[in-house]
């Protein structure tokens, strides 16, 4: 409920004027108004019926207002007052419809991208961070924008955020870290990061409209949007350039490049039209661009020249040094401060769990389910990042050396072969074996990153906790991974593939050893929190 009825009436009128102008421009004719709206009620005592009539009318207009249309028209508004009225209108409405959340995303992103400069101030209240800015600058920008939102929403009531929802918002720090690692458009699509963020927004419920949530979401929309557009345009440029070069060499537009992908499909990619549409409706187009980009990359490196059936099996790289995790900076992987005695290292159990984790996710609190989904996404991204490193290494002899934060992981020949192999869509033992092997390495990579982040923030009041939560998830789901690996191990031994079984066992042992570091880190976190 609004505390200022006249301001509410002014906001609703401004929103109606904005909507009508957009619709009339799109339709090419005037929009007929309901009688009670056209006649209007000017007497103060009739303001409540007037407000309710306008709300009902705007509910109808909302159905005709697509988020991309609102986004584009906001860019042409000369002053911020209309966006301010829209902000207060949607906050007061508190709609849980995805379309209304998308419109609010457009509004707050527009406001954030046009920094407000108060009268008498020498600089705007906030500065837009660069795409590669550290999280410190991102947080500072969100804080500055938050103060502006509180002023704009001073007469509004909005639903408070629960502790679970507040904790959920801390996931964005790690989403920014993940975003920083993306170098190609297909990495963004493979990571499913957009859907994970949408799930976070949905889990906020009506608290989505809380200023704290809106401030952080606006910064994310801005930074991610620029990174997405940059990589998307880069991908489409490479696709179209490759198609042009192939045609110059005499290939037909109907020539098949890989699978069902033809040269003509590459030439028909229209980045402007795709980006101008609604994101959800453009999903198929984004996936096609990602697929085309992979085909182009394969052709450039010669990986797609032969069909999967005739391609020789990838040869293992020269055997690297003994399996180990090599810190590149002192104390990077320290489990406890150097001046404290190291506790005994308990064995970390890795026995199969009765119910699989993915089934358990359905029974937990929605915010916890989203947290788990975010962690799964990070594991997937780590695996894809290592795969990209191995397959595109400038020097194939160095492909087995993977840098993770300040640590270098040395891949074994078996791990290297798993990342180099391409069994996508294949249902076979070798595909299962490669998948498990890659997942083991991905888990190790994620643990190293989170331990390093925890150690850097262990002395802070609360910044360490999200990293401890991530480590707890990784440690708890090791049982699921071990169950999958055990099944593959038994199959390998039954088939007499002792070399493959030994290679997988070595990788599991390496992960189990580092899991002890994780266990001790969590113990330290519990002691610091007084648990």
Element holding 195 (H helix, E strand): helix 193-203
* Phi and psi torsions of 291, nearest 5°: -65, -45
DSSP label at residue 470 = H
The DSSP bridge pattern shows strands 325-327 and 256-258 to be unpaired
With beta carbons less than 8 A apart as the criterion, state whether 429 and 491 touch. yes
Phi, psi at residue 38, to the nearest 5°?
-65, -40
Q: What H or E segment, with its residue span, contains residue 229?
A: helix 211-248
Instruction: List the end-to-end C-alpha distance of the chain, in Å, as a whole number.
Output: 42
Look at residue 191 in the predicted model and tell me its pLDDT.
Answer: 85
Other beta carbons within 10 angstroms of residue 121's beta carbon come to 9
The token pair at 196 is: 């994970």
Which pLDDT belongs to residue 300?
65
Angle between helices 211-248 and 283-301 (to 10 degrees): 50
pLDDT at 264: 73
Q: Which pLDDT score is estimated for 253? A: 65
395-to-130, 169, 286 alpha-carbon distances in Å = 32, 40, 31
Tokens for 368, please give them.
Answer: 């916890």
Burial of residue 338, with CB atoms counted within 10 A of its CB: 0-12 exposed, 13-18 middle, 19 or more buried: exposed
Contact 369, 168 (CB under 8 A): no
pLDDT of residue 305: 38
> 24-70: per-residue pLDDT in tens?
998 999 988 888 787 764 444 457 788 888 999 999 999 999 888 88
Contacts with 269 (C-beta within 8 Å, 6 or more apart), sequence order: 236, 239, 240, 288, 289, 292
* Other CB atoms within 10 A of residue 325 CB: 19
DSSP per-residue letters across 407-430: EEEE--HHHHHHHH---TT--SHH
Report d(CA 394, CA 399) in Å as an integer.
8
Helix (H) or strand (E) holding 401: strand 401-404
Handedness of CA 513, 399, 378, 490 (dihedral sign): negative
Tokens of residue 42, six digits: 């000017």
If you count them, how many residues does the chain have? 531
Cβ neighbours, 10 Å, residue 140: 16
* Low-confidence stretches of the chain (pLDDT beneath 70): 1-4, 40-46, 116-123, 251-253, 277-282, 300-371, 461-462, 524-531
- CA nearest neighbour of 333 among 440, 458, 441, 455: 455
Residue 46, both tokens: 């009739």
Note the maximum CA span of the chain: 90
Alpha-carbon distance 449 to 385, whole Å? 13
Q: What span, in angstroms and rounded, lies between the C-alpha atoms of 377 and 235?
A: 22
Three-state secondary-structure class, residue 453: helix
Q: How far apart are CA 19 and CA 30, in angstroms?
A: 12
Task: Tell me the three state secondary structure of residue 395.
Answer: coil
CB 521 within 8 A of CB 454: yes
Q: Does residue 390 contact residue 317 with C-beta atoms inside 8 Å?
A: no
Phi, psi at 180, each rounded to 5°: -65, -25
Burial bucket for residue 357 (CB in 10 Å: 0-12, 13-18, 19+): middle
Which helix (DSSP H) or strand (DSSP E) does residue 327 occupy?
strand 325-327
- Position 302 scores a pLDDT of 55
Give DSSP secondary structure letters for 301-367. HTTTSS-TTTSPPPPPPPP-SSS-EEESSTTTT-SS-TTSPPPP------PPPSS-HHHHHTTS-HH
Q: Decide if 514 contacts 447 (C-beta within 8 A).
A: yes
Please say whether the beta carbons of 456 and 527 come within 8 A.
no
* 34 Rama class: left (phi>0) / alpha (psi -120 to 50) / beta: beta
Report helix, strand and coil shares of the chain as percent, to nearest 5.
Answer: 65, 5, 30
| β-pair type (261-262, 401-404) | unpaired
Q: Would you call 261 helix, strand, or coil by DSSP?
A: strand
């Amino acid at each position: 409920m609004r505390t200022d009825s006249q301001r509410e009436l002014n906001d609703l009128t401004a929103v109606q004027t904005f909507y009508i102008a957009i619709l009339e421009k799109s339709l090419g004719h005037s929009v007929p108004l309901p009688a009670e709206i056209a006649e209007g009620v000017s007497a103060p005592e009739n303001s409540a019926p007037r407000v309710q009539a306008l709300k009902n009318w705007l509910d109808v207009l909302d159905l005709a207002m697509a988020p991309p249309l609102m986004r584009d028209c906001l860019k042409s508004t000369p002053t911020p007052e209309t966006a301010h009225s829209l902000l207060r209108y949607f906050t007061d409405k508190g709609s849980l419809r995805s379309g209304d959340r998308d419109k609010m995303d457009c509004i707050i992103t527009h406001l954030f991208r046009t920094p407000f400069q108060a009268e008498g101030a020498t600089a705007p209240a906030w500065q837009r961070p660069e795409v590669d800015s550290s999280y410190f600058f991102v947080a500072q920008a969100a804080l500055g924008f938050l103060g502006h939102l509180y002023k704009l929403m001073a007469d509004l009531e909005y639903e408070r955020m629960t502790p679970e929802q507040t904790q959920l918002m801390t996931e964005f720090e790690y989403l920014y870290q993940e975003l920083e690692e993306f170098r190609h458009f297909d990495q963004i699509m493979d990571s499913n990061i957009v859907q994970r963020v949408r799930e976070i927004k949905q889990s906020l419920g009506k608290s989505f409209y809380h200023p704290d949530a809106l401030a952080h979401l606006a910064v994310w929309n801005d930074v991610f949007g620029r990174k997405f557009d940059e990589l998307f345009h880069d991908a489409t440029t490479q696709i179209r350039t490759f198609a042009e070069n192939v045609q110059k060499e005499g290939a037909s537009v109907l020539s098949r490049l890989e699978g069902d992908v033809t040269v003509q499909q590459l030439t028909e990619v229209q980045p402007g039209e795709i980006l101008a549409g609604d994101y959800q409706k453009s999903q198929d187009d984004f996936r096609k661009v990602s697929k085309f980009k992979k085909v182009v990359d394969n052709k450039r490196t010669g990986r797609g020249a032969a069909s999967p059936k005739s391609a020789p099996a990838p040869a293992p790289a020269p055997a690297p040094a003994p399996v180990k995790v090599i810190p590149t900076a002192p104390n990077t992987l320290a489990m406890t401060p150097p001046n404290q005695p190291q506790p005994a290292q308990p064995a970390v159990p890795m026995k199969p769990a009765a119910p699989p984790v993915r089934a358990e996710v359905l029974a937990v609190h929605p915010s916890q389910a989203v947290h788990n989904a975010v962690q799964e996404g990070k594991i997937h991204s780590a695996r894809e990042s290592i795969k990209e490193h191995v397959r595109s290494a400038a020097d194939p002899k160095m492909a087995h050396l993977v840098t993770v934060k300040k640590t270098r992981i040395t891949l074994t020949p078996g791990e290297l072969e798993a990342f180099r192999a391409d069994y996508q869509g294949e249902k076979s033992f070798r595909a299962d074996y490669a998948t498990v092997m890659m997942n083991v390495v991905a888990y190790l990579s994620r643990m190293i990153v989170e331990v390093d982040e925890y150690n850097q923030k262990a002395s802070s009041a609360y910044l360490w906790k999200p990293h401890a939560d991530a480590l707890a998830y990784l440690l708890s789901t090791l049982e699921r991974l071990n169950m999958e690996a055990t099944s593959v191990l038994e199959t390998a031994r039954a088939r007499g593939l002792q070399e493959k079984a030994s290679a997988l066992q070595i990788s599991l042992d390496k992960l189990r050893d580092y899991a002890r570091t994780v266990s001790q880190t969590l113990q330290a976190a519990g002691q610091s929190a007084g648990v």
